[in-house]
Amino acid sequence: MSIALIDSNNFYAACEQSIDPSIARRPLVILSNNDGCIIARNAEAKCLGISMGEPYFKVRHKLKSLGVEIRSSNYALYADMSQRLMNILKDNCEEIEVYSIDEAFAKITSSYNCNLSSWASQLREIIYQNLGLAISIGIGASKVQSKVANYLAKTTATHAGIFNMENIENKDKWLEKVPIEKVWGIGRNLSHWCQIQGIQNALQLRDMPSNIIRKKMGVTGIRLQQELKGEQSLNLSIESIKKKETCVSKSFSHPVTRIEELRQAIATDVIIASEKLRRQKQYASKLTIFTRTSLYTPFFYSQSATACLVLPSNNSKVLLSTALDLTEKVFKPNYLFMKAGVIMQNLLSQEYLQLNLFSNNNPEELLKQEHLMKRIDYLNKRYGRNTIQWAACGINQNHSNGQKYLSPLKTTQLQEIPIVYT
């Protein structure tokens, strides 16, 4: 059995180029919320020396002079494209572990072993044809080896986005090309420690005395070394790990000074968080809201408030009522609030609900509310977000993120689907 790591190249930028072919092969950067910083770049932008995390206001003139395309972060588009990508992988792989928004591990059995490279090439073609996304595929005997192979697939032009570690005779030669900081599981501090020990690449880490690794990294380090040798010590996590908390927050496009605006902002976050809970099939037992001013203001203020729910819930109405009551506790007049959010805590599985002996539990009413939430979620998914909106969120949300360069929601909004005339 082999393990493959499928990873989309420059995912955010690739999604933008997929729905707008006019910016293909042009330098492109993606900005964070409120168009604050650069959070993603395509290969062409990287070649121009544009750095990750640069504040946009500092480099906007430079970007204009270089002819760089700019887009605001379009998270609805990226989430939808990610879901489509994972669905294609599920159809073409036996088992997958979704590792991140644009990465997945896949198990490949011996039935493919005669021609793994052909299988990988065909998968790349399917994904590009259906989504317009270029992917890199690394194949190895273990998860860490597939990670290393994926790095080599991206950095070795002659391998055309596919690197099969299983078919390489001289593995040591290629492991030597992988810098220690690029090995999966080696962070900044461990990378620095390894370099002090004279360990500069993946090959040296693999051949390092195990007792030294165990002393520094414990069992995790031993497993990492075994994986580099091709021994499978890390299993695929087919089932997603249940979340313990869900947080939704936003920075405001302008300072919020009135409690009405703050209530609307927090209400919007609560509605999004409750939708997430229902998708995750979880209930929240505790809810925390928080807000703060800018970190750079001379009169910094930050406050949070928490409430425990009598009955765990993912009902927007219940969570909204609790959060709005807490807003009164965190608001302070004459302060310029720049961020607010909500954290759903002590999450429980929706399969089990422990009723409270001292509360008025009406099973029929709970079932009616559950059906109502499902219908609202369906309509908002079918016809677009905010088709049905809660009044507490406000009609004109002036506090919303500034997204001057937002691309159309061509894959998630019916009214924005492109029309082709023939």
Going from the C-alpha of 203 to that of each of 147, 170, 212, 312, the distances in angstroms are: 14, 12, 16, 51
CATH code given to domain 246-393: 3.30.1490.100
**Average pLDDT, rounded, for the chain:** 89
Max mean pLDDT among 104-108, 155-159, 305-309, 383-387 falls in 305-309
- Residue 193: strand, helix, or coil: helix
Tens digits of residue pLDDT in 18-58? 999 899 889 999 998 888 899 999 999 999 999 999 999 99
Ranges of each domain in the chain: 246-393
Residues 406-419, mean pLDDT to the nearest whole number: 81
Q: What is the CA radius of gyration of the chain?
A: 25
Q: Is the pLDDT of residue 381 over 90?
A: no
Q: Count CA atoms within 13 Å of residue 254 on its CB side.
A: 6
Predicted local confidence at residue 206, as pLDDT? 93
Average pLDDT for 219-244: 86
- Please provide residue 106's backbone torsions phi and psi, each rounded to the nearest 5 degrees: -130, 140
Cα distances (Å, whole numbers) of residue 252 to 21, 99, 333, 337, 400: 31, 30, 17, 8, 6
Tell me, yes or no, if the pTM score tops 0.85: no
* pLDDT confidence bin for 398, thresholds 50/70/90: low
How would residue 14 be classed by pLDDT, with cut points 50, 70 and 90?
very high
As a whole number of angstroms, the distance between CA 204 and CA 194 comes to 10
DSSP 92-126: HSSEEEEEETTEEEEEE-GGGGGGHHHHHHHHHHH
